Structure 1
Amino acid sequence: MSVAVVGAAEAGLGEAPPGTTPAELMGQASLAALAEAGLTTDDVDGLFASSTQLPWASINLGEELGIAPRVSDSTMLGGASPVAHLAHARAAILAGACEVALIAYGSTQRSVGRANASPQEVDRYEAPYRPVLPITAYALAASRHMHEFGTTPEQLAWVAVSARRWAQRTPGAWSTKPLTVQDVLDAPRVCDPLGVKDCCLVTDGGGALVVVAEARARALAAEGAPPPVHLLGVAEAHRHRHVSSMPDLVRTAAADSGARAYAMAGVGPADVQCAQLYDAFTITPILFAEDLGLCAKGEGGAFFEGGRTGPDGDGLPVNTNGGGLSYAHAGMNGLQLLVEGVRQVRAGRDVALVHANGGVFSAQATAILGSAATA
């Protein structure tokens, strides 16, 4: 027995109405996801939520929706939190601790300013160098990858260009203007080798998933809910907190979470039909594609080069709504990746990989979603 997603929704993506709070965005997305599943707040007995603006996020969500849950989890793993919450919700449901799990996220970082929404925790050994976090740390990884494997600025740029091409086909995407490799290369540098167009968007937004046991998911579908999106495998991992303690700048704990998720799902990289890879910067999907086995270590640049992962490419579709680089990036993007993974399975893909990242390659979480054919 496993679990399935029966409701998925987003709220306030881009720029939320003035005065909107992160808890309200979580609540709006939650109500939409519950309605899609044919459920109400009275059915929910498990709350899982995170936000840099709300240290007690699941408690805030319960207050917002008037829910007194049996299980409450505000575990903070940065952008990896929602995927980790999916693992925790699965465990709680299978253990009988709850029956209907609501996973939510909300951020108003664009409205209130990123510095106010996401205060940085600076390591005391890094502080004397006055790093501009997080981009300084990600630039270190990009530079190392270029040095070790010959990755080029043009290959980094293709990550952004491919994302933009997907966004141009996605209703509600924040950035849809045409973007070329040369545009990315000509953009002002922020921290070499990364420029403005190598960096994710700064948007508001919320999202939510409703998760239940597979038997209940099938019953809800019989009553009019969408077909269940099955959780085939899920795992989390971390090896460091600050980049100065990262064992290897171009090898992440995604290799650990990915291996465990594949093993649980009984599938491998060759079975994946689309991938939603956390793209806070253009270097991150390159590393994750490698560490998740979608290509060999060192071949991530070539994996994206030429638009192979874009809508007209001949490779694996990646970040099919435009990702954090062009669709939306509300501070921590794990929930939006999950929603898109759900949508892709509903659209006919049998195996969708979702991978989220927290901190500077600090926390990793991988989920493999599937259709009835793969459950």
Structure 2
Amino acid sequence: MARTPKPVIGVTAAVAGVGESEFGRSVDRPLDRLVIDACRAALADAGLAASDVDGVVATAPWPGPDTVSQALGIQRDHTASPGIPAGAGPVAAIEAARLAVESGRASAVLVYYGYAGSKPGGPYAFHAHDPVKASLEMPFGWYGQPVYFAAWAQRYLHTYSVSPDELGSIAIANRKWAQLTPGAQRAKPLSAQDYLASPMIASPLRAADCCLITDGAGAVVVTTTDRARDLRTPPVLVAGSSTVTFGPAMTSYFTQAPDLCSFGSSRSGPRAFAEAGLRPADIDVAEIYDCFSISQAIQLEDLGFCDRGGAFGFTADGNTEPGGALPVNTHGGHLAYAYIPGIVHVIEAVRQLRGERGAAQVPDARTALVAALAGGEHSTLILTEDR
């Protein structure tokens, strides 16, 4: 029986490199090439060669770690996968990489995620492959992510007596960040009037409340803090992390969850904060999974950044936009920057803590939170600068 390595006392993990591929809607390149491009960019950012990497964490079935490792020339001693889809998968993958480094299983781990949202079937195809949904939900109109999250939004409006017209504040605030971010897919200014003119997709969610369609990839290199300090870019420390499973399986989560006003962030958030020794008030910048505006709102509340039922008002008061008390989705998020689920939020948090974001830089950013969901699974990651 193989012996399980014990944690290496005093070893902590840090993000040493991040990278993105070309991205956009209908990018004319295969997904595996986009993933390889992102991985090479992350290695170059860290100042590492493929031969310096001995661990790979894959967050999607294709391309697999064997394909990626062979293309890059990585000799793996450690391979892992969180087995979690959507946004929480890439964030959970950072936690898996962290544990590999801190336990001594690997010295440098490459995490990658690619997404081809504009290909035939797009994001709808994910749920269409589920036989339970195809048999019991889709025939009755439960088809597609906008419909799932519209039900959550309707419940939220009813529970907290929020007007549908008030939902626009999150889309408007995220768009302000996209205007400061080169390459953002949706950088056109969005006013309150523009929001109300946005087509209704699944009541009460309008087109402006829905994430982008994106083809692209992102990658992150995780290594020990000591090693990261000798590399090309300032290390960003992994201070706390938590991944939880909460409620029914993905098959029925969005239609039959026991509470349509709370995600697993109500559990993963407190655990990550406790491990990091921080509170919500200590966070300088937050990157929160915004497949739809309602998902960002609920997580803001679950994570303790505002009161229950107060997320849209909190945002409408300017707290999350440039210059606000809690900058959120400082690249524009999935609503306006790119929908490469979860991983682009990790990359943005790292860049903020390095002070690399130019016009969108949050002054004196020292702590960052990344949160992402995948149905009943949720991951929260807390990053800090190297003090």
Q: What TM-score comes out, normalization by structure 1 length?
A: 0.91
Q: Secondary structure at the match of 2:21?
A: strand
The runs of 5 or more residues in structure 1 that have no matched partner are none
Q: Secondary structure at the match of 1:114?
A: coil
**Hey, what does 2:382 align to over in structure 1?**
368
Q: Secondary structure at the match of 2:229?
A: helix
Deviations 1:129-185 (A, max 9, x none): 231221111011111111011223233211001111100000111111121122222
Give the conservation status (yes or no) of the 8 Å contact 2:32–2:62: no
**Hey, what does 2:175 align to over in structure 1?**
164
Q: Does 1:355 align with 2:363?
A: no
**Hey, what does 1:10 align to over in structure 2?**
20
Aligned partner of 2:371: which letter?
H
Q: Does 1:34 align with 2:43?
A: yes
After the TM superposition, which residues 183-202 of structure 1 pair with which residues of structure 2 at under 5 Å, given as runs? 183-202=194-213
Which one is further off, 143-152 or 8-17?
8-17
**Hey, what does 1:207 align to over in structure 2?**
218
Shift of 1:55: 4.8
Aligned partner of 2:377: which letter?
A
After the TM superposition, which residues 49-60 of structure 1 pair with which residues of structure 2 at under 5 Å, given as runs? 49-51=58-60, 54-55=61-62, 57-60=64-67
Give the conservation status (yes or no) of the 8 Å contact 2:292–2:335: yes
In structure 2, the CA distance between the partners of 1:219 and 1:109, relative to structure 1 (3 Å rule), is same
Please give the alpha-carbon distance, in whole angstroms, between the structure 2 residues aligned to 1:316 and 1:155: 19
Aligned partner of 1:371: which letter?
E
Give the conservation status (yes or no) of the 8 Å contact 2:51–2:75: no
- Which of 50, 54, 64 aligns to 1:45? It is 54
Give the conservation status (yes or no) of the 8 Å contact 2:20–2:218: yes
Give the conservation status (yes or no) of the 8 Å contact 1:56–1:74: no
**Hey, what does 2:114 align to over in structure 1?**
106
- Which of 70, 76, 87 aligns to 2:77? It is 70
Q: What TM-score comes out, normalization by structure 2 length?
A: 0.89
Give the conservation status (yes or no) of the 8 Å contact 1:50–1:56: no
In structure 2, the CA distance between the partners of 1:371 and 1:237, relative to structure 1 (3 Å rule), is same
- Which of 319, 327, 338 aligns to 2:329? It is 319
In structure 2, the CA distance between the partners of 1:16 and 1:9, relative to structure 1 (3 Å rule), is farther
Q: Secondary structure at the match of 2:230?
A: helix
Aligned length: 361
**Hey, what does 1:23 align to over in structure 2?**
32
**Hey, what does 2:5 align to over in structure 1?**
none
Shift of 1:252: 1.2
In structure 2, the CA distance between the partners of 1:33 and 1:207, relative to structure 1 (3 Å rule), is same
Which one is further off, 160-169 or 146-155?
146-155
Shift of 1:37: 1.0
Which one is further off, 20-29 or 315-324?
20-29
Deviations 1:49-97 (A, max 9, x none): 223xx35632332233232311112333222111101111111111111
% identity of equivalent residues: 37
Please give the alpha-carbon distance, in whole angstroms, between the structure 1 residues aligned to 2:282 and 2:289: 20
- Which of 97, 122, 142 aligns to 1:89? It is 97
Please give the alpha-carbon distance, in whole angstroms, between the structure 2 residues aligned to 1:63 and 1:152: 53
Aligned partner of 1:68: which letter?
Q
Q: Does 1:218 align with 2:229?
A: yes
In structure 2, the CA distance between the partners of 1:178 and 1:247, relative to structure 1 (3 Å rule), is same
In structure 2, the CA distance between the partners of 1:115 and 1:174, relative to structure 1 (3 Å rule), is closer
Give the conservation status (yes or no) of the 8 Å contact 2:27–2:215: no
The runs of 5 or more residues in structure 2 that have no matched partner are 1-10, 356-363
Two-structure CA RMSD over aligned residues (Å) = 1.8
- Which of 264, 267, 271 aligns to 1:256? It is 267
Q: Secondary structure at the match of 1:205?
A: strand
Please give the alpha-carbon distance, in whole angstroms, between the structure 2 residues aligned to 1:204 and 1:364: 23
**Hey, what does 2:352 align to over in structure 1?**
344
Shift of 1:308: 2.9
Shift of 1:119: 5.0
Q: Does 1:150 align with 2:161?
A: yes
Which one is further off, 124-133 or 208-217?
124-133
**Hey, what does 1:80 align to over in structure 2?**
88
Please give the alpha-carbon distance, in whole angstroms, between the structure 1 residues aligned to 2:127 and 2:158: 31
**Hey, what does 1:126 align to over in structure 2?**
137
- Which of 234, 237, 252 aligns to 2:241? It is 234
Deviations 1:99-135 (A, max 9, x none): 1000101122225551586453353543442312211
Give the conservation status (yes or no) of the 8 Å contact 1:8–1:207: yes
Q: Which runs of 4+ in 1 moved over 4 A?
A: none
Please give the alpha-carbon distance, in whole angstroms, between the structure 1 residues aligned to 2:17 and 2:280: 26
